[in-house]
Structure 1
Amino acid sequence: MEHSWEVATIAHALGTIRNRCFDGTLDVNAVVVAALYHDCGEVITGDMPSPIKYHSPEITRAYKAVEKQAEHELLSLLPDALQQDFRGVLLHDEIPAEHLQIIKAADTLCAYIKCRSEVMAGNAEFSQAEKDVKARLERFDLPEVHYFLETFVPSYGLTLDELLK
């Protein structure tokens, strides 16, 4: 759940940056709520590492079908009175594409921040992943992602003393 909170907070920042700095009209609160639930299907499927999930188009398609089924299974577990309220956050097909794009960007930023912190801590195993994830981020056609990378990511590597100077 910690990961979902991190994605939600970064999605909140990205949405706010879009609205304040790039004349966006995004419903930031809706994005944040959807981000909180973005990986809930993993309760059923487990977490599939990205290099495996995206290894081939066939694996990606198959896994997305499993994820979709898991989302529907979770929704069906809720009382009938609550299902309509949760459809728009549990079922990715019902989340606006613009919101999914922000959530995906936030999720990718979280991966980059994690890789970066591992490399900074001396864990060279994350070096290639850091480069790969950074390249994915640079392909996002979202100015708010580049703004976040330039403005906020450097501070993730600072100590508390360095931040407060």
Structure 2
Amino acid sequence: MASNFFALISRMRYISRWGLMRNTFRENIQEHSHMVAVLAHALAVIRRDVFGGDIRPEEAAVAALYHDAPEILTGDLPTPVKYYNPEIRLAYQQVESVAAEKLLFMLPEEFRETYRPLLIGGDPEIAELVKAADKLSAYIKCLEELKAGNDEFREAGDQIRGILDASPLPEVRYFLDHFLPGFSLTLDELR
């Protein structure tokens, strides 16, 4: 029997992010997931190579690639709506859970256990790095929009930066100190 799982995954490019914001450039969840994978990998490398953690960066990268996959079925609910109150947040978590299960059961049975931790949740250590990378990606989007003169992202950027600054993860602080400054530079300054 044929599976439509990967055909559906390829449709991540049609799900736009930041739906309530005026964007200088659009971002979809496929692009976002790629950046989150790059950042989660980097955070895991920092944890392993700088802080001596026992972690496999490639696992963080793969988990990040799939972290928003349920949004193929649910769409991207804007953060102010998603976190408006605890009842909405809980209801949305339930909807995301059903969507993740639906995606999982689109796979042939012999693949489900491999993809279960990617769609349903797996290693908590990996999950915390993916969540941090997700915040970093959102903050970088805000920086890029602000750099393009779009003040629409100022408040979101301030809020996300506050969350990142309060992160207990030393990898996040390391990334902010060593890598984040480059995102404010022009192409000529990056050389």
Name the CA distance, whole Å, in 1 between partners of 2:48 and 2:114.
Answer: 26
* Residue 55 (structure 1) shift: 1.5
Structure 2 residue identity aligned to 1:153 = L
Aligned Cα root-mean-square deviation (Å): 1.0
Name the CA distance, whole Å, in 2 between partners of 1:29 and 1:118.
Answer: 29
Unmatched 5+ stretches in structure 1: none
* Residue 49 (structure 1) shift: 0.9
Structure 2 residue identity aligned to 1:70 = A
In the alignment of these two chains, the number of paired residues is 162
Out of 117, 124, 145, the position equivalent to 1:118 is 145
Out of 133, 141, 163, the position equivalent to 1:106 is 133
* Residue 137 (structure 1) shift: 0.8
Structure 2 residue identity aligned to 1:64 = Q
Report the TM-score when normalising by structure 1: 0.94
Partner of 1:18: 47
Greater helix share, structure number? 1
Report the TM-score when normalising by structure 2: 0.82
* Residue 160 (structure 1) shift: 2.1
Partner of 1:38: 67
Partner of 1:148: 175
Kindly indicate whether residue 89 of structure 2 is the aligned counterpart of residue 49 of structure 1: no
Name the CA distance, whole Å, in 1 between partners of 2:153 and 2:115.
Answer: 36
* Residue 157 (structure 1) shift: 1.8
Structure 1 residue identity aligned to 2:141 = K
Out of 138, 143, 166, the position equivalent to 1:139 is 166
* Residue 81 (structure 1) shift: 2.2
Offset from partner CA, 1:54-73 (integer Å, 9 cap, x none):
11111111111111110000
Moved over 4 A (4+): none
Name the CA distance, whole Å, in 2 between partners of 1:32 and 1:97.
Answer: 14
Out of 118, 121, 124, the position equivalent to 1:89 is 118
**Percent identity of equivalent pairs:** 47
Name the CA distance, whole Å, in 2 between partners of 1:53 and 1:139.
Answer: 21
Unmatched 5+ stretches in structure 2: 1-29
Structure 1 residue identity aligned to 2:67 = H
Question: What SS class does the counterpart of residue 118 from structure 1 fall into?
Answer: helix
